[in-house]
Every structure is written in structure tokens, then in C-alpha cells.
Amino acid sequence: MKYTDRNLMNKIKAVMSAKIGDKIDFRKHCFLENQYGGTPCFSYDFAETAVRTAYQVLENILKEDPEQFENYAGWEYNTDMEIEKLRTVTLKNFIENLIEDMINHQV
């Protein structure tokens, strides 16, 4: 199965919505609370759940369909550093960058 950015984004949003208990809306969930004035904001707990969920969903896809991503081992990341990115990068752009990286490694 070829993965597209849209179906991967929908998978991430569905799992994230279930964990958070609220529908993910990129107009409402933009930045981690910060001093730069980026609004609208979300809490650190929300950001932690979002980061962990995005990586978890994509890593599960890599495990389920390894032949689709033969030469791709996945990601090494520091959760705290990834969360801090969300002070200046929108949640949507953060997830889109992960998805783009994964899609570029499809066979």
C-alpha cells in the first residue's frame, strides 16, 4: 500500500483525538504556550501527547509495513526538544514534516 500525506495525517489525527479526548483542530491547536505571542496556544501536556502520538503512529506503520520502507529505520528524537519546537513551529507543520520525511523513504 502506498501511503499519502493525507491518509497518514488522518491516522495521526484520529489517534491523537482519541488520546486527548478532543477533536484535533489545527486552527485551535497551533503553538505551545510561549512568550513569542504565537496564538492560539495549547498546554505542555497536550504538546507531549501530540509529539509522542505522532511518532508512535508513524513508527507503528513502519513496523506493520517494513517492505514499504526498506531502508528506513525510523527516528531518533528527544521528546523535550521536539516539544520545544512547538513554541515556534505550528503543530500542523511539525506533523507534516514528519510525514514528508517518511513518505520520501517509500519504496
In tens, the pLDDT along 17-56 reads 898 887 777 777 777 777 666 566 788 888 899 999 999 9
- Residue 74 three-state SS: coil
Position 67, amino acid: E
Q: What is the mean pLDDT of the chain?
A: 84
At 31, phi and psi to the nearest 5? -125, 155
Residue 94 has pLDDT above 90, yes or no: yes
- According to DSSP, the residues that pair with 32 across neighbouring strands are 42
DSSP state of 87: T
Domain holding 44, by residue range, is 5-103
CA gap 90, 100 in Å, rounded: 15
Domain count, the chain: 1
Residue 2 has pLDDT above 80, yes or no: no
Tell me: cis bond preceding 40? Omega within 30 of 0 counts: yes
